[in-house]
């Protein structure tokens, strides 16, 4: 108690002397005192501003986090809606195609695939219990995909026309020249061999199934000629398949 009283009296004495000092000395002391107190005063002012706005700052952070989560949620919902819209469009097109073709068909979902240099096959969610059997033709609205080579009770395996083991009797639409379409080990391109040496077919011409043989019906689109090469006794056309292997989702099997 005595110490506090002494400090208080000393402070009053200092203040009294400061007031009664000559102006020159008083100004110097005041100036030095202000310079000494300026950093802590500045710190206290900044601290008071920070504390005053801290609640608003926390509120803004919370609002920003909520908005970010809401935007992420909306983006996800938008992606799902776009996927469903595209899926519905594909199924609608396939259904319309199914109604237009003169074949009885079974729709199946692609549940897997094997794609390598020497093997290009897909697995379908339809099997023997659905009426699927070996050599059934597989297609979609784009064109010919391949044929069934193996079945089980619930699934089936389709060898695509770009598999190196595939052979499809075909003809060119513009000149009606016949040939045999082979799968290759070079990507997805097909080769149509044994075209007449004097064929007038051109790059860009369509190639369809010829109907020869006992497997592939006549007139199914195979693809478009993208190059022609002269051989010793015939010509070979290189064909880009009508279907896109990587985007196969739902297909039709011809009964």
Q: pLDDT for 154-178, tens place per residue?
A: 999 999 999 999 999 999 999 999 9
Residue 25 scores a pLDDT above 60: no
By CB atoms closer than 10 A (0-12, 13-18, 19+), residue 149 is: middle
Rounded-to-integer distance, Cα 54 and Cα 97, Å: 64
Label the pairing between strands 156-160 and 167-172. unpaired
Q: Residues 6 or more apart from 111 whose CB is under 8 A from it?
A: 123, 124, 125, 155
> Exposure string (b/e) for 204-224, b if CB count within 10 Å is 16 or more?
ebbbbbbeeeeebeeebbbbb
- Give yes or no for residue 183 having a pLDDT over 80: yes
> Which of 246 and 53 is assigned the larger pLDDT?
246
Q: What is the DSSP string of 160-221?
A: ETTSTT-EEEEEETTT--EEEEEE-SSTT-EEEEEE-TT----TT-EEEE---SSSSPTT-E
Residue 142 near residue 244 (C-beta atoms within 8 A) = yes
Looking at residue 17, its pLDDT comes to 55
Q: How many CA atoms lie within 13 A of 131 on its CB side?
A: 9
Domain ranges (residues) in the chain: 40-100, 105-255
Q: Name the residue among 221, 218, 220 with its Cα closest to residue 210.
A: 218
In angstroms, rounded to a whole number, what is the distance separating the alpha carbons of residues 224 and 134?
A: 27
pLDDT for res 66: 80
97-153: per-residue pLDDT in tens? 677 788 889 999 999 999 888 999 999 999 999 999 999 999 998 899 999 999 999
3-state SS assignment for residue 12: helix
Verdict on whether the full-model pTM lies above 0.85: no
Q: 11: which residues sit within 8 A by CB, 6+ positions away?
A: none
Average pLDDT over residues 204-219: 95
Category of 241 on φ-ψ map: left (φ > 0), alpha (ψ -120 to 50) or beta: beta
Could you read off the pLDDT of 217-255 as tens digits, one per residue? 999 999 999 999 999 999 999 999 998 888 888 899 998
Is the pLDDT at 1 greater than 70, yes or no? Answer: no
Which of 165, 196, 187, 183 is closest to 222 using CA atoms? 183
Superfamily of domain 105-255: Rod shape-determining protein MreC, domain 2 (2.40.10.350)
CA distance 119 to 105: 26
């Amino acid at each position: 108690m005595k110490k506090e009283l002494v400090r208080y009296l000393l402070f009053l004495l200092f203040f009294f002397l400061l007031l009664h000092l000559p102006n020159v000395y008083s100004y110097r002391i005041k100036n030095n005192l202000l310079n000494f107190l300026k950093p802590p005063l500045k710190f206290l002012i900044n601290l008071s501003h920070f504390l005053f706005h801290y609640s608003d700052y926390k509120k803004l952070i919370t609002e920003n986090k909520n908005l970010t989560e809401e935007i992420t949620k909306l983006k996800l919902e938008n992606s799902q809606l776009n996927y469903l819209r595209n899926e519905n469009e594909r199924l609608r097109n396939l259904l319309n195609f199914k109604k237009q073709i003169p074949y009885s068909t079974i729709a199946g979902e692609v549940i897997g695939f094997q794609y390598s240099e020497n093997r290009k096959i897909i697995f379908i969610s339809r099997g023997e219990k659905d009426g699927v059997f070996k050599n059934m033709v597989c297609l979609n609205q784009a064109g010919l995909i391949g044929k069934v080579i193996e079945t089980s009770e619930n699934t089936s395996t389709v060898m695509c026309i770009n598999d190196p083991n595939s052979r499809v009797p075909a003809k060119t639409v513009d000149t009606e020249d016949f040939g045999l379409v082979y799968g290759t080990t070079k990507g997805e391109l097909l080769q149509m061999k044994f075209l007449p040496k004097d064929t007038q077919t051109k790059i860009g011409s369509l190639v369809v199934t010829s109907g020869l043989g006992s497997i592939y019906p006549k007139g199914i689109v195979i693809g478009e000629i993208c190059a022609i090469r002269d051989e010793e006794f015939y010509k070979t056309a290189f064909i880009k398949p009508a279907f896109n292997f990587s985007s196969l989702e739902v297909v039709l099997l011809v009964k």
